Amino acid sequence: MEALIDASQVHAWYGSSHILHGVDFRLGRGETVGLLGRNGMGKSTLIRTLLGHVKQRDGRISIAGRDLSRGKPYEAAKAGIAYVPEGRGIFPNLTVKENLVMAARRGTGGQADWTLERVLATFPRLTERMGNLGWQLSGGEQQMLSIGRALMTNPSAVILDEATEGLAPLIVAEIWRVIGDIRRSGLATLVVDRNYRMVMANSDRLVVMEKGRMVLEGQAQDLAHRPEALSRYLGV
């Protein structure tokens, strides 16, 4: 499988704190990878480092065949990576429609599969809120808007960092339904979530982090039969 994101020996620091310690990571085209680990183990830092948000970094990072080891976030976006950050990051003073339309563009291969109509069909609730400002939405609606905006860029990969955190159970179920739809559409997906069972059920491959290092990796269906390994690193 061709690598969309390919990183090796990645280190990252926040000031004097050494967070990532020689991490190797790979995301293939069309592949869904679940990134697991307890809080504070470096998952979000890895994502932000791969995308160029963490300036103090070392190692090799390639995205869509381009060396972006010293790349900036906009270069990762131009290479086809859509990022749904923890905290959502929508524009509170723009309407739902404006948040979506402002992100619309063709993908790196000229694809335009994710239109406004398709996004609204995926998130029917947003259709009812088209004229509402971002700050007027519930937390779940803001998360739907954040994912929908990412899809409007017609990406090659979507990275979802804690997409269900703090949401009501019905909204959580809706978000997981959409993650399943994205996976089936053929987009590469990187999912970080505390619900390891749902991550496992919606991933091809799992990688587990502990203290800034990769400590476990394998096919999701194989690791499902190794609960002792998951328990060791996830405390479940």
Q: Could you report the per-residue pLDDT of 77-112, keeping only the tens digit for each?
A: 999 999 999 888 899 999 999 999 999 999 999 999
Q: Is the pLDDT of residue 6 over 70?
A: yes
Per-residue pLDDT, averaged over 113-142, amounts to: 95
Q: How far is CA 108 from the centre of its chain?
A: 18
CA-CA distance, 59 to 212, in Å (whole number)? 14
State the pLDDT at residue 145.
Answer: 96
Q: Look at residue 42 in the predicted model and tell me its pLDDT.
A: 96
Through-space distance between the first and last CA atoms of the chain, rounded to whole angstroms: 32
Answer yes or no: are the C-beta atoms of 135 and 89 closer than 8 Å. no
Give one word for 80, left, alpha or beta, with left for phi > 0 and alpha for psi -120 to 50.
Answer: left
What angle (nearest 5°) sits at the alpha carbon of residue 63, between those of residues 19 and 57?
25
> What mean pLDDT value characterizes the chain?
94
pLDDT category at 212 given cuts 50, 70, 90 is very high
CATH number of the domain to which 112 belongs:
3.40.50.300
1: pLDDT strictly greater than 80: no
pLDDT category at 203 given cuts 50, 70, 90 is very high
Query: Is the pLDDT reported for residue 235 higher than 90?
Result: no
H or E segment and range at residue 114: none
Query: Is residue 134 within 8 Å of residue 90, measured between CB atoms?
Result: yes
DSSP string across 141-196: HHHHHHHHHHHTT--SEEEEESTTTT--HHHHHHHHHHHHHHHHTT-EEEEE-S-H
Range of weakest confidence among 86-90, 123-127, 149-153, 181-185: 86-90
Say how many domains are in the chain: 1
Structural domain boundaries enclosing 187: 3-234
What is the Cα–Cα distance from 72 to 52, expressed in whole angstroms? 5
Q: How far apart are CA 8 and CA 90, in angstroms?
A: 32
Residue 236: predicted pLDDT: 59
Residues β-bridged to residue 207? 35, 217
Considering only CA atoms, which of 198, 199, 204 is closest in space to residue 221?
A: 204
